[in-house]
Chain A
Amino acid sequence: MASEPDLSSERALDEALLCSIALGDERAGLAFVRRFQSRVFGLALLIVRDRALAEDVAQEALWRVFRHADAYDPRRGAVSAWVLTITRNLAIDAVRVRRQQPTDPHDEVFVRLVALQPGPDEQAEGRQAAAMLRAALAQLPIAQRRAVVRAAIYGQSATEIAAAEQIPLGTAKSRVRLAVARLRGLVASEEER
């Protein structure tokens, strides 16, 4: 029988757990919470910048995952991406409802996202891609990095980015476009090595 640790199956494990949840296993739900809570809370906190509100958002996000586990579509991406997307959308909504205006990240956020070392649970397969992307992001000019982080993490449209950065709409669009093109190029060239 095979006995080597098989940590390369992170994604399969997430799917297996979510599968158990969809089949009605509440305990799997709790195992899932333990597995994702720090990532979900971390993302919510980054966006809403208020621990109490972030907790509400994280709880609601996990609840939605639990509730809609049967609707998850593996063809559209990893479980972790699905969970984080739900979290982001809820966090953005929560901020909009509470402050009546789009959130505006601190400058330190843009720096921290690339300066941070991978966390202790960032070893396995899926996370190598994260490390690669982090390195690629670090190579972008800061203006492009800000634009693409605003778009991907804060869900800002080009119009919102233009307003927040006080730049013309065309400039905002081209910064995002250039950043995405360069990230794709950098990630692709890393993968070829």
Chain B
Amino acid sequence: MKAGERCAAAREDLFELATGALSGRRRSAVLEHVASCPLCASELAELTAIADGLLSLAPAAEPPVGFEARVAAAWSARAPVARRPRRALWCAAAAGLVALGAIGGWLVSSASTPPPVRTAVLVRANTAVTGTAVVTGAAPARLVMTLSSSRPLGEVRCAVTTRAHRRIVVGSFWMDGPTGAWSATLSVPTDELAAVSVLSSTGAVVASGRLDSAR
């Protein structure tokens, strides 16, 4: 088969490869061709984007009550194997992406030393507010946080506490739904930070958590 014919044959099946419908020998043959043909590989990337996009159109639906608790219970029952922290190479890239705040920047950043990553779990006893804060990069550090709350919180302030017990409000944002995501650039170096907290407009602590050590 000539190169052009191989491409034509592969293109016939590329969308089925993107949707997972292709199997068996045909699938291996197409995968093999794509691995050695940049044109078909870029075609596959575009078709995958279309297929992924269509998948995201599926209407969201709230799972049955107690779903989250059952997930947590199932996880802790199964966790001994999975809980083991693993080195995730792609993480350095993701951390770079957050730190640079630019898609496309991560390829560059992954070539250099991976930035430190620190995470804090944001919780508060007796309230249904939880979240995660991830601090990445050194100078400037970038903070990314997500919050979930069973009730709308309105305006909340995000603060970091330094190792010297100084609390610095880094900004405020609106939580008008059950979940919120927010990020900011910090002027405090990552290694001087101790904790992250979320405050209500009156200054009460809504959720907080200590940052783990740098990885």
Contacts and interface: CB of A to CB of B under 8 A. Distances in A.
Interface stretch (B31-39, B80-88, B196-204): B80-88
Nearest to A173: B12
Given A35-B146, A38-B60, A152-B19, A77 B49 contact: yes
A15 B88 contact: no
A1 to B, nearest CB: 5
A157 to B, nearest CB: 4
B177 to A, nearest CB: 6
B181 A134 contact: no
B115 to A, nearest CB: 11
A7 B62 CA distance: 23
B144 interface: yes
Contacts, number: 260
Interface string A25-36: 111111101110
B186 interface: yes
Given A1-B184, A28-B119, A155-B21, A42 B58 contact: yes
A180 interface: yes
Interface residues of A, number: 94
Contacts of A10: 181
A74 B93 CA distance: 8
A94 interface: no
**Chain A contact residues: over half helix, strand or loop, or mixed?**
helix
Contacts of A137: 54, 57
Contacts of A116: 57, 59
Interface residues of B, number: 83
Contacts of A152: 19, 50-51, 54-55
A160 B146 CA distance: 41
Interface of B: 12, 15-16, 19-22, 46-64, 67-68, 70-72, 74-75, 78-79, 82-91, 93-95, 97-98, 101, 103, 106, 117, 119, 121, 123, 130-132, 134, 136, 144, 146, 148, 168, 170-174, 177-179, 181-187, 212, 215
8 contacts: A16-B94, A18-B94, A19-B88, A35-B148, A74-B106, A84-B55, A151-B15, A158-B16
Given A19-B134, A155-B20, 20 more contacts: A1-B186, A3-B184, A9-B101, A13-B146, A23-B88, A24-B83, A43-B58, A55-B64, A63-B71, A70-B89, A74-B106, A84-B52, A84-B55, A85-B55, A89-B20, A116-B57, A119-B60, A121-B177, A152-B55, A160-B21
